[in-house]
Every structure is written in C-alpha cells, then in structure tokens.
Structure 1
Amino acid sequence: MRREIAMPTFHVELFEGRTVDQKRAFVKAVTAAAVETLGCTPESVDIIITDTKRENWATGGTLWSDPRPE
C-alpha cells in the first residue's frame, strides 16, 4: 500500500461571523490549492476552522473588540 507523501492539516483562525457557505467555499479553494501545489489527494487534506471572538484576539496590545486608533 502506498502512503501519501503529503497529508497536510491546515489550522485557520478567523473572527467569528463567516457563513457556512463562505467556509464551504474557503475549504474547497484551500483543498484545491493543496492538491495542485503539494500533489496530495483531496481526501488527505484536513482543514480545521476556529471561530474566534474579537474580544479573544489582540494585536499590538489592543483587543480587536476595542476601538481601533485612526
């Protein structure tokens, strides 16, 4: 039995609010890109999406739920 050379797992963190249809389109596009560039099968591609509240993500010491400086 031949083992897959590449069995990628993608961990994607997004701010919550995307629709299921958006996520469906995203995972389809990422899977197609992995198949094309890595030479793996679609069945070997895993994508884990984590929806994160803006209050749980910070950049530069500021929560994304706080007003951003202009």
Structure 2
Amino acid sequence: MRAPGLMPLVDVTLVEGRTPTQLRALVTALTDAVVTAIEAPRDSVRVVLREVPTTHWAAGDVTVAERPSPSDAVPDQASGGGTAT
C-alpha cells in the first residue's frame, strides 16, 4: 500500500573525491533501493548528495586529509616490496 503524498528523501554525506559517474551511479542505486523497499513511485524519490572536503571530516581527532595515504604504507617484505639498488 502506498502512502498518499509520499516523497521519500535520501540525504547522503560523503567525503569529496568521487567522480561524477560514481555519484550518478549512487543516485541510481539509492533511488532503486527506495522504490524496491517501500514501493515509492520513482519520480517521488529525492536524493541529496553532500560532499564534504577532506579537511572537514574527522574521526578520532584526525581528518581524512591528515590520514596517511595508502602509498605512504611500508611495503610488505613478503611481497618483495622495497627499494631497488
């Protein structure tokens, strides 16, 4: 049974850095999920994506911008990583 005047809103906050294609795919996936889960009419589903700069998102008092990047990780010796001489 559909509720009259149903206009579901999905509000997503995520760290910036994804491509327009990835964001578009997210909108489609979220819309599909709402339509499937609650039988909402597709054209009634609203999706808002809020992108936050990496300097504005923190966990444990460390911002995403301050976290070491995967390329900063120490190479795994078992995989033969290291510096060639």
The question of a shared fold, defined as TM-score above 0.5 by the shorter chain, is answered with yes
For residues 47 and 54 of structure 2, the distance between their equivalents in structure 1, rounded to whole angstroms, comes to 21
For residue 61 of structure 1, report the CA deviation from its aligned partner: 1.7
Unaligned segments of structure 2, at least 5 residues: 74-85
* Cross-structure match for 1:29: 29
Task: Give the unaligned 5+ runs of structure 1.
Answer: none
Matched with 2:14 is 14
What residue number does 1:60 align with?
60
TM-score of the aligned structures, taking structure 1 as reference length: 0.81
TM score, norm. by length of structure 2: 0.69
Q: Name the one with the larger strand percent.
A: 1
Q: Which has the larger radius of gyration?
A: 2
- Pick 1 or 2: higher relative contact order, CA cutoff 8 A, min separation 6: 1
- Looking at structure 1, the residues matched to 64 and 22 of structure 2 have their Cα atoms a distance apart, in angstroms, of 22
More helix by share: 2
Query: Could you say what the CA RMSD is over the residues aligned between the two structures, in angstroms?
Result: 1.8
Distance of 1:20 and 1:56 partners within structure 2: 21
Query: CA shift at 1:3, angstroms?
Result: 2.2
Shift of 1:60: 1.5
Query: Secondary structure in 1 aligned to 2:48?
Result: strand
Secondary structure at 2:18 match in 1 = coil
Q: Deviations over 1:9-60 (max 9, x none)?
A: 1111111111111111111111111001111011111111011111001112
